[in-house]
Chain A
Amino acid sequence: MDLKEVSLKLDETLIEFFTAVKQLYQEQAVLEQYMKDGYLNLSRARYNMGLKAVGALQFNQNAMTALTKVDVNGTEKNSSKPFEITSSQIQKPSKNDEDGGLRKRNTGTDKSEKIENIGILKNDDSDIKEETVIDPLKWFGVLVPQNLRKSQSSFKQAVESVVTIANLKHSIINLQTEYRSLLEKKSNMLKNASKEN
């Protein structure tokens, strides 16, 4: 690589760096807006439901599982997006037909059969409990105000924005190290050239 090539690469890296910084500022503004909306709707929900009805005390401490997680695809220099968002779907427990439909009394079935059925149902329930992830909105009640739902969607978007910001910051750090190494290379080349002259 000669001096001209290094200088060109240096310029390219610098332009990339500033583009990334610009994107970062834009994404930060987006995150701030989402969070602002989320806070506002959270406060409105608190006004509707009561002062202590929306807060950390309502968190389900026994079964809290993350719906949104992040995949890390290695942090090598060439990977522009090391963080990738993965969200698991909320599974609604499938009800058995017998629970949903009309109940018939005195149908004349054997008691033993009934007991067996109950046993099977119990097993099914335990399986469902293991698999399902409860929507955090349910911790605050069944009929929650619309504002709390809006707040939840704002914060979900904020999480997506956070992952984008993490990727941008990662690429900024990488570009920074690349720029430094190129700058060092260039200064060494300049020194050598001046010695030769």
Chain B
Amino acid sequence: MAIRAAQKGRLIAVIGDEDTCTGFVLGGIGEIDKNRRPNFLVVDKNTSVPEIEEVFKSFIKRDDVAIILINQTYAEMIRHAIDKHTEPIPAVLEIPSKDAPYDASKDSILRRAKGMFSAEDFR
């Protein structure tokens, strides 16, 4: 596990529908850096799945991002990319959206935790 050094003042990135992004940006997490890169992606009906995946990967690569929030609906679309990311930082959190409530059984981390117990362990 690659451990990055402790850093102060890192960002929270958001991938979500317009209301989720508006809400969190209103909450004060939005930032556009010197290279004009925003830390949020507003997903609408014209946004393609590869585009979401690309932005997600770019957030993972960024050194100034500590937590990535993603609507569970969109997390489902790029599940393979989320499952591939196992490093502790940036932490990927799935959040509910306006249309769909949070379903813990779909969450990557909790699914991984479920696989922790096998029948053989309890023999």
Contact = CB atoms under 8 A, between A and B. Distances in A.
Interface of A: 17, 21, 24-25, 28, 31-32, 35-36, 38-39, 42-43, 54-56, 59, 61, 64-76, 82-83, 86-87, 136-137, 148, 151-152, 154-156, 158-159, 162-163, 165-166, 169-170, 172-173, 176, 179-180, 183
Interface residues of B, number: 47
Contacts of A154: 23
Contact of B9 (A86, A173, A183): A86
Closest 10 A/B residue pairs (Cβ): A67-B28, A155-B27, A66-B31, A70-B66, A155-B23, A69-B9, A64-B32, A166-B91, A75-B88, A74-B6
A55 B20 CA distance: 10
B26 A82 contact: no
A166 B23 contact: no
Contacts of A173: 88, 109, 112
A17 B38 CA distance: 36
A73 B25 CA distance: 24
Contacts of A155: 23-24, 26-27
Nearest to B99: A39
A70 B11 contact: yes
Contacts of B110: 21, 24
A125 B109 CA distance: 49
Contact of B116 (A65, A156, A179): A179
Contacts of A43: 19
A151 to B, nearest CB: 6
B8 interface: yes
Contacts of A67: 28-29
Nearest to A76: B3
Q: Tell me the interface secondary structure of chain A in the complex.
A: helix
Interface of B: 3-12, 18-32, 38-39, 42, 66-67, 69, 88-89, 91, 93, 95-96, 98, 101-102, 104, 109-110, 112-113, 116, 121
Contacts of B27: 38, 68, 136, 152, 155-156, 158-159
B122 to A, nearest CB: 11
Contacts of B25: 59, 64, 136
A70 B67 contact: yes
B23 A38 contact: yes
A118 B88 CA distance: 53
Given A83-B91, A151-B26, 16 more contacts: A21-B110, A25-B104, A28-B104, A35-B96, A38-B27, A39-B23, A64-B31, A68-B28, A70-B67, A71-B8, A148-B26, A155-B23, A162-B12, A163-B67, A165-B93, A172-B113
A64 B3 CA distance: 29
B116 A176 contact: yes
Among A43, A69, A156, A170, max chain B CB count under 10 A is at A69
B1 to A, nearest CB: 8
A183 B18 CA distance: 46
